[in-house]
Structure 1
């Protein structure tokens, strides 16, 4: 290969593993491209390991493929925060000479589709980088492959053209990377005992089963390797084996208060929960009103037992989990790995189905998995897996009960159980820096909320409850979701349902600040809250009325959607108070929104745009929207919203 052959690095930012899977596919196909050099494969969190990002001016023949997903309300994956800070720098020569292309993954069911990929793609040229291929935007709502496949085809075409020009070669007709890929020769680590039937089934080739290897996902080398090292008892049990967070920031907490915020006949159950952290707690240094905390959850015990049973795994077997390099990740029992490290409710990706098929004892089940993961089975995969949101556990039970894949395969290819995030509804100044309070609505079959509800009920019944494990979150999308520093700044809070929780913390903090301040000149505070019925789900009613009585809250405006002949929502109440809202904005005040990112957030956003258009922009709708965007840039319109599903 010529020294002029372009070097291709692949970087990714992932939440559920989709972006990483695509990135690994690109990286593993590079050796089959005879005029391209295989560069590094790195998480964007480790961008500093890639020389092209350190000395881009020396990397004129280096091309960087970035595959990145978006989570929540357009947020980047938690792990790539350092990279997102890099692209916020205002240095037009910082990445001068860097050449890149972005493949953005998102879901049109969410408001800010592919926002992370768009941010990266728009920011890099401002730092001097050069885009060599138009951004791809793949929609998980309809099927990522609809955009991913043609984008990858164009990517290979462009890179082959670049290579031909650099090496003065004739441009060859591109051959599909999947078509040119050799069947995988990777094998599982030898096992002490292998069932004779499994050997017989695996001896049947893909071709004998009627499948074309080139139309199946390519088998990649494993990212992690698990080896048995003994039985439970001989090894110290780690606090956590989840890769979703740094175990050094995990803190233990105990339940010190719990009460229901909804009536017994309410359709939803909402709890208020108070936790006290131990003396080693370090979360408190970063704890401020508006901050969110992650509650570490484990898989449902009954689902764990079903998973262990169907795969015939020995729960007390101790495994040492290592990276490809041999570096140890964790040593723990099979039971702990299944409880904490893999998400049993995750939808299996096609690469996992391909790998699982080699371990099915039933030939027909093996064929079923192969068809679902093949290019010919796209429609069936969409209908039977994606649309039904079929979990890996359900798939094993319904489609592949004969599968005897080793746990290492699932540790390698399934995402971990993610922490569940809740906004603090307490004030560290008023309630104590080691005390965390939050509210949560119990979701049917919800892992976190049902576990927390059981802990709350135990406390309410006077019984001892288990510890809760917490982690802090540093998120650039919500770090400005905090009350104004000055008491003179007026602000409006819009939080229906449990969206009111952080605003209780805002107001409790304000109450403390007012008690410590000698300055009597303060701004105004208004809270727009919404619920169904005053007598059923008016969350924190007594607390809010007390805060209003003590002048921490100036106005409480409540929309009850089911108490009157007509449904009334918070956006309706905003429009009814449009002039007051506009006056707060004109005076330099702030707007905060918290709650459901679907209908509520969109309705409120539209209402605010209309209000600004009418009272601040001479009735011009587009100018009202532009003003709202400007307020967001100035951090005077800040949202902390979430999505269901």
Structure 2
């Protein structure tokens, strides 16, 4: 049926557009569209009265722009939830990652929400770098008509906690914007404060529309209904199928290949995604801590509303006890009578405090400055929840249905006269056996994905446990029959004991799933050889692959390996392309903008 101009309220151009699009819609799309139009008409009628009372006829915009900067996917997930909640309340939402957003469009925006994490030592996430650089440059536009609010994610154990979010918040104000709602700085346990921030944002928007805070709170509660059955806040209890030490006898390392069952969970993932694992503290460390405290391990404490546990259970499975932070000590000092602790957190003692925190834990703090608080409840109320650990998934779901594999290196070291252990890594290495269950969820990572075109060449750099996502990449391309070339650079300490997944790599080379493999074992030669040295040896061929459109992936340690590999790519591009360093950096920046240079670093 054709829409006619004569018997409709539409212009000729509108009628032609509708006649082109309507026949292409499915029944489900038509149903959704009819509901959307009805809802928008209803919300428009509701907004009409308050809008009419605006000074000088000014209308309050129901358009909201949400921009996120995300390294591991947390900011993206929260931005998506915010978008769905706002859309459910009649707002027209534009949602974009910072890497895809054109900064000059900010001049047209009235309501802006920024959700951004801080990466490493106060750096923006990879997909936020260009946007961050533009906004802090002289080219940034004046934004006098802008209302904004920032949700900042970070980790208080780092010195520059939520630094990127703070920078965006300050800069938007400098450019003339006004805060729609104050910035929220979230620690690793961000779900509750993020929900509170969204409730506050929605309340502020609705206040401008003439609606009350109670209505906004009820609307924001719909956030909970958006969650899938199993998620960060409702993890799946995955059964351990296998737990294998990949290193040979005599190795300095202990790297575990962990296989988990996802059967019955409905969880799915793509190569490049991560698995969130909720670990537990070392029982021996908990026992040592309880021996130093003045309360019984059977004392009851409330960890959250409706969740009461014994002090021992709470320290074992809920609270973080292995990391000290500046905010933590500043909260403890007023509850303590110890003058030494008060002096440590006093103004001007920043360096001394930083030195003390490094490598120490709650047991050290209790031994050095005595228990604080009048009860076990007051003692634990200062502690934060054990942070979830995110691990790059090391398997393809297509190749291993209902399973997920991880590659985890056990962390053990000496500091301040005691042996220290990584919470999650030794939880896996020492206490998880086949038949046990572990709480997990899938964390999507849009910043680390195989190219959509299966013929695109890929270059993967992943020493040590950084090889994990590349195992999933190769498994996926093998399973789907992708024809694009693939090149892996892998490194570790010793060929004999530390060549992770060696048999699989040899099989992939033989069947063509992996085109090229270059390895570097740093302790097998007098002069240490790393993956970046192998890259330089293959300089001409690597540049040729880049010119052919190859996508580069880097996974592993950010401070050293990823930094060195980044500089190596710049050297190769400058040398083989006959470019200055500045032009080579621009070349790599352009690759990053095109999503041809992706990193999963930690």
Q: Equivalent residues in 2 for 1:46-85 (5 A)? A: none
Equivalent residue in structure 1 for 2:591, among 631, 640, 643: 631
In the aligned structure 2, how far is the partner of 1:320 from the partner of 1:139? Answer: 24
The Cα shift of 1:299 comes to 1.9
The Cα shift of 1:339 comes to 2.6
Partner of 2:86: none
In the aligned structure 1, how far is the partner of 2:399 from the partner of 2:451? Answer: 17
Equivalent residue in structure 1 for 2:234, among 240, 249, 261: 249
Change (3 A) 1:551 1:430: same
Task: Flag structure 2 segments of 5+ consecutive residues without an equivalent.
Answer: 1-53, 61-68, 84-94, 179-229, 413-420
Partner of 2:281: 299
Q: State the SS of the aligned residue for 2:398.
A: helix
Q: Equivalent residues in 2 for 1:384-395 (5 A)? A: 385-386=356-357, 388-395=358-365
Partner of 1:269: 254
Structure 1 residue 406 corresponds to structure 2 residue 367: no
Structure 1 residue 504 corresponds to structure 2 residue 471: yes
Equivalent residue in structure 1 for 2:395, among 421, 426, 448: 426
Equivalent residue in structure 2 for 1:533, among 475, 487, 494: 494
Q: Equivalent residues in 2 for 1:232-247 (5 A)? A: none
Structure 1 residue 436 corresponds to structure 2 residue 421: no
Structure 1 residue 258 corresponds to structure 2 residue 225: no
Change (3 A) 1:622 1:249: same
Change (3 A) 1:609 1:492: same
Change (3 A) 1:440 1:127: farther
Equivalent residue in structure 1 for 2:570, among 582, 592, 609: 609
The Cα shift of 1:293 comes to 0.4
In the aligned structure 2, how far is the partner of 1:275 from the partner of 1:382? Answer: 39
The Cα shift of 1:404 comes to 4.0
Deviations 1:419-465 (A, max 9, x none): 22211211111111x11112111111111111211246x55xxxxx5
Q: Equivalent residues in 2 for 1:364-403 (5 A)? A: 365=338, 367-375=339-347, 377-383=349-355, 385-386=356-357, 388-401=358-371, 403=372
**Alignment check: 8 A CA contact 2:570 2:588 kept:** yes
The Cα shift of 1:560 comes to 2.4
Deviations 1:478-516 (A, max 9, x none): 4231222222111111111111121111111111111xx
Equivalent residue in structure 2 for 1:592, among 549, 553, 562: 553
Alignment RMSD, CA only?
4.5
**Alignment check: 8 A CA contact 1:304 1:338 kept:** yes
Most deviating of 392-401 and 348-357: 348-357
**Alignment check: 8 A CA contact 2:97 2:127 kept:** no
**Alignment check: 8 A CA contact 1:74 1:114 kept:** no
TM-score where L is the length of structure 1: 0.60
Change (3 A) 1:507 1:105: closer
Partner of 1:313: 295
Structure 1 residue 573 corresponds to structure 2 residue 534: yes
**Alignment check: 8 A CA contact 1:359 1:405 kept:** no
The Cα shift of 1:246 comes to 5.7
Partner of 2:205: none
TM-score where L is the length of structure 2: 0.64
**Alignment check: 8 A CA contact 2:246 2:254 kept:** yes
Partner of 2:525: 564
Equivalent residue in structure 1 for 2:335, among 355, 358, 361: 358
The Cα shift of 1:317 comes to 4.4
The Cα shift of 1:636 comes to 0.7
Partner of 1:480: 447
Partner of 1:282: 266
Tell me the number of residue pairs that the alignment of Structure 1 and Structure 2 aligns.
452
The Cα shift of 1:98 comes to 7.5
Task: Flag structure 1 segments of 5+ consecutive residues without an equivalent.
Answer: 1-54, 60-69, 163-244, 323-327, 460-464
The Cα shift of 1:249 comes to 3.4
Change (3 A) 1:305 1:550: same
